[in-house]
Amino acid sequence: MRCKFAGNGTDSCHCQTPVKQHNVNPGPRVGIAYRVGEKTVIRASYSIFYSHAGGVGGRTNGRQGLSQVGFNNNGSLSSAVTGQPAYNWANGYPGNPLNPPFFNPSYGIGFITAAAGASVGSGPTTAQTVTYGDPNFGGKAPYYEDWSFNIQHSFTPNLVFSVAYSASAGHWLPGAGVAGPFTNQIPAQYLPLGSLLTQTLSTTTLAQAQLLFPSISVPFPNFTGTIAQAVKPFPQYNGISDPWLDVGNSTYNSLQVSLNHRFSQGLTFMVNYTFSKELDDLVGVRDPNKDFLEKGPGAIDHAHVAAATFVYQLPFGAGHKLTSGNMALRSVMSSWQLSGIFTFTTGAPLAINGTCTGGGIIDAVCFPNYNPNFSGSVWQNGSIGSGGASVAATPYLNKTAFVDPPIYTAGNIARSAPLGLFAPHNADLDVSVRREFRIRERLALSFQADAFNINNAVHFAAPGTNIDSASFGIFSAMANQPRKLQFSARLSF
């Protein structure tokens, strides 16, 4: 492979950018609503939304986007005489001391003998990791397709029930760990070479490698390096960075149910429930050319999510049926308000990992194997904290359910939620009591007491998930906060 640079002239691609620009990105928004009778409405929608990521405005590669299409020179100048300026403004700014092209196609190469590489300034240790913007996919904008179907029914003027199917599919998303020739990834087919991969290429080691792969040869004259380096797609480079290889995908499907009571007779409340499944492949991969193997429940997958809120002005005191003729008692009874928030979320999927030897081919992530001799539940030692056991010292997962894969092989467990493993659920109940004192028509003083996690429930975060760690299956952190009380006063005018 020869380096080519954007622009025209020697060693150029005769183009403004070597990365194809995708300028046509349709983003339709379609919605429909149909009323059935006086109390029921049916709605549906479809839309496409684009995002800024990768080569079209994301943070990757220093937020340079597709502007990184070649090399530039900063034109810095140094003084030729100590204590004297590098140049004088009165004479104008000097021209660039180095005119393009600043580099030739030998830029960044290495793994060549010193004698052979001397003419181009290269040698055994001069190889660099060069940046390569994929010409076909580097300029793809990530996008999401969203669609929904909703039925809403009003039982009373203030009570509305809604049930909906809502879904989304994402494409060209950043995060997938897929690799390939343009990341200079060692082809996975060479895994059987095992420890030979780390051996320096010589007549002896080359003959040993050719017993398994007769096609292996010296990649170019005067090459010096390991067999692993020799079988790379571009063995003259240490590595190739393809910063905009955003080829991830995701799907989300959900059933959403809600009951909403608008403010009436001192009460408003809302209850929501979502049953959903999120799948993606936005992780490191065990096989650099098979990202599809990692499709599974993502880190944001929470099957059940429920939330409820309410605000209730207590029906006591002035202006209410439940009042008193005694002015002092009526004053104490009036203007009380109770409110609360409840949330419940099932846990995210667990990702079990271990120790692998991948020869630089399958080292991006390590997933163990299922133990074929294991049976029963992977959970052990009862519920968390039961029987007076020390949570911080009790493993609640049985590590014998998994085993590290043999060297130079990839594990076979699911990338997430193997054996149905999810972190514990999380829940929270916050309650607030408020009392308002009307001092004048436009002046009021209110006092409020808030209790967060009022029942002081303990919900644990995910346990240790490395089967080779002493902390495997042990819960060491909380997913929520302990009970907190807060008092406040507010003067409104």
Mean predicted confidence (pLDDT) in 337-361: 93
The mean predicted confidence, pLDDT, of the chain is: 87
Tell me the two tokens of residue 353.
């990992």
Confidence of residue 129 (pLDDT cuts 50, 70, 90): confident
Q: Cα–Cα distance between 369 and 349 in angstroms, integer?
A: 17
Write down which residue in 231, 260, 288 finishes a domain.
231
Domain co-membership, 316 together with 210: no
Q: DSSP letter for 422, please.
A: B
Q: What stretch of H or E contains 258? A: strand 248-264
Confidence of residue 330 (pLDDT cuts 50, 70, 90): low
Buried b (16+ CB within 10 A) or exposed e, 422-457: bbbebbbbbbbebebeeeeeeeeebebebbbbbeee
- Beta carbons of 454 and 483 less than 8 angstroms apart: yes
Domain co-membership, 482 together with 383: yes
Residue 329 confidence (pLDDT) above 70: no
What was the pLDDT predicted at 96? 64
Q: Cα–Cα distance between 290 and 274 in angstroms, integer?
A: 32
Q: Work out the angle at residue 276's Cα, subtended by the Cα atoms of residues 291 and 310, and round it to the nearest 5 degrees.
A: 145
What was the pLDDT predicted at 69? 46
Write down which residue in 205, 231, 257 finishes a domain.
231
Per-residue pLDDT reduced to its tens digit, 461-491: 999 999 999 999 999 999 999 999 999 999 9
Domain co-membership, 197 together with 308: no
In a domain, 150, yes or no: no
What was the pLDDT predicted at 60? 64
Residue 86 confidence (pLDDT) above 60: yes
Residue 397 confidence (pLDDT) above 50: yes
Mean predicted confidence (pLDDT) in 382-404: 87
- Beta carbons of 454 and 427 less than 8 angstroms apart: no
Domain co-membership, 487 together with 378: yes
What was the pLDDT predicted at 62? 54
Total structural domains within the chain: 2
Q: Work out the angle at residue 416's Cα, subtended by the Cα atoms of residues 399 and 298, and round it to the nearest 5 degrees.
A: 150
Dihedral sign (CA 224, 230, 235, 240): negative
What was the pLDDT predicted at 102? 57
In a domain, 215, yes or no: yes
Domain co-membership, 227 together with 317: no
Range of the domain at 214: 187-231
Pair type for strands 129-131 and 239-241: parallel
Domain co-membership, 227 together with 311: no
In a domain, 101, yes or no: no
What was the pLDDT predicted at 106? 80
In a domain, 412, yes or no: yes
The reply to whether the predicted model has a pTM over 0.85 is no
- Beta carbons of 147 and 170 less than 8 angstroms apart: no
Residue 333 confidence (pLDDT) above 70: no
Per-residue pLDDT reduced to its tens digit, 248-282: 899 999 999 999 999 988 899 999 999 999 999 98
Domain co-membership, 217 together with 364: no
Q: What stretch of H or E contains 166? A: strand 159-173
